[in-house]
Chain A
């Protein structure tokens, strides 16, 4: 048998890594999740939506079914509260059996100034973006690891690549979550479970409406397209979206700390 020097098979990246069929969305009413769900619905997937408001979940369910989702289940829970996680996980395991993908999409961004002056706000930001996120990811990770299949993805932020004066509290919670995912990826790799860190740049969603220049932020539809593609394919481990942020953040990370601390960004 001869081995071809140049394999003739085309781009392995285009082949689906897992048959993504049943997706659990944690934080289904978040701005980016809304767009991701629409695109998944158009592809005829099955979805389990988890969010706080039963009313909003019902509206989403109706919308996604008309738009082509094969099946939409909902579960109402406050994911910031770790006490409720066991029930969420049980519901997924029992009624949404053999789900293959979990996307964590919720997060909170308080005004930076508030999280500097109020310890309560600071701790709440940590609780929502990091503590509760790692807790629920750990629950789902164990299940996928045992089954030896599937994909875990979480939305962090480019703000977590380097903490800035103007939003270091939010940034550090997202940076911590990115680190956590890094470790989780390494742990789940032998089991064949993928872990994707999604790092969006600023996106036009309700979370960012109050920021200056929010009209110039990325279109959530485009960001969602990138996310859905990442969920379908084997690579990458870390997704920057829009793509330009991979290069911007590479540059930003190179700035020496003695200079960076003087920048009022």
Chain B
């Protein structure tokens, strides 16, 4: 035996199995991973896929999914963040080809000065193109533009058996449909073609209007849907059935100059002690937030980042919820079932466990871009619950019951705990998606809700 192979053998047996703690945005659940692959080039991905044990890999981006859909406990992740190159851009059409690890933030920084903007901007810009596609994320313009996936025209997908598969509306259209909203399970996205849209500049003509009932909120939507590209509302989740909140609507400002210097906000340095967030401090925050915005209601011109991604200005805001982390609850409930929605709000208010970030939006009727896309017509609400053990989980289970009975759905990207039954109710056609899963790929979420190995 040569000395070289002896050394290689020694290394192989001496090395302890690496355990890497990777947390999702909610910092719950906490799961150790076996290994994190970090390809720096797309040409390295096929070998990673080939060498893997079936079900052992999951592509990973910026880890902004809240629960376990971006985790693969005890197994491997393929961290795609180094696949962050822009492979091409057509100045005349706005068609962008971007590797999967490019962040939406990066796209805004490069293209906004050239007069182009994301077709759909989610609540944070710190997600990757791969993640935005695989979760088919939505934004404040869902009622007129649909989801992010609706603007993904073509995807290059690494598959363990078939190499790089090109998916568009003509070629492998079913695989495109499966990959958009496919939770990363269909393969590792090499690149995606995204249709950007023209804007005059970085400014938004924004308006905020206080409302004090669900019906007023719906009236505001009706009145705004045709006139405003972006609509969303913040909801005081301590108000209960009376649904007090602030309705925000906006359009890209036609002419307000291009001069704009984004600010770099503060950063939360460590997890806050959990006692700092309690029902009194949060209630006080919500009352203050409402009063401040209600007082300065009206129209203003604001920079795009404070309109689209206000929370991004505090880096690592998730540490606000302390060491135990938090759970986000985002469901959609059909509008025909407004009583169910009111009951949901009431239960949250009575629990006293709600938090700052009640976000309310009326989805439009665009057909889903992916097989497992979450957005569908109805009202969607997203809010955070600090993880306080059993009682937090119990509250969420009782909300699940309302969602299921109303014919609604829960959003996988935000979830760490929904039952297989609720997943089935939310995505009744999930079995049709199974054949598109790459045999080398799986996730904690998928195993949890489908019982897959």
B292 interface contact, C-beta 8 A: no
| CB under 8 Å from chain B, chain A span 164-200 | none
Determine if B40 and A206 form an interchain contact, defined as CB atoms under 8 angstroms apart. yes
Residue of B nearest to A114 (CB): B7
A63 interface contact, C-beta 8 A: yes
Distance to closest chain A CB from B388 (angstroms): 29
A209 interface contact, C-beta 8 A: yes
Determine if A63 and B40 form an interchain contact, defined as CB atoms under 8 angstroms apart. no
- B70-109: CB near A (< 8 Å → 1, else 0) gives 0000000000001001111100000000010000000000
| CB under 8 Å from chain B, chain A span 8-49 | 29, 31, 34
A257 interface contact, C-beta 8 A: no
Determine if B43 and A55 form an interchain contact, defined as CB atoms under 8 angstroms apart. yes
Determine if B43 and A56 form an interchain contact, defined as CB atoms under 8 angstroms apart. yes
How many A-B pairs have beta carbons closer than 8 Å: the answer is 48
| CB under 8 Å from chain B, chain A span 74-128 | 111, 113-114, 117-118, 120-121
Name the residue in B3, B43, B85 with the highest tally of chain A Cβ atoms < 10 Å from its Cβ: B85
Residue of B nearest to A59 (CB): B85
A259 interface contact, C-beta 8 A: no
- Chain B residues positioned under 8 Å from A117 (CB to CB): 3-4, 6-7
- Chain A residues positioned under 8 Å from B89 (CB to CB): 66
Tell me, in angstroms, the Cα distance from A147 to B201 when the chains sit together: 45
Q: How many residues of chain B have a CB within 8 Å of chain A? A: 20
Cβ 8 A contact of A62, one of B11, B38, B87, B110: B87
Q: Could you tell me the dominant secondary structure of chain A's interface residues?
A: helix
Tell me, in angstroms, the Cα distance from A13 to B148 when the chains sit together: 47
Distance to closest chain A CB from B100 (angstroms): 13
Additional A-B contact list (16), CB under 8 Å, known A62-B85, A66-B88: A53-B43, A59-B41, A59-B42, A62-B88, A63-B85, A63-B87, A66-B86, A66-B89, A66-B110, A114-B7, A114-B8, A117-B3, A118-B3, A120-B4, A121-B4, A206-B82
A-B pairs with beta carbons under 8 Å apart, 16 shown? A29-B40, A29-B41, A59-B87, A62-B85, A62-B88, A63-B86, A63-B87, A66-B86, A66-B88, A66-B110, A117-B6, A118-B4, A118-B7, A206-B38, A206-B40, A209-B38
Please give the residue numbers on chain B whose beta carbons come within 8 Å of chain A beta carbons, in ascending order: 3-4, 6-8, 10-11, 38, 40-43, 82, 85-89, 99, 110
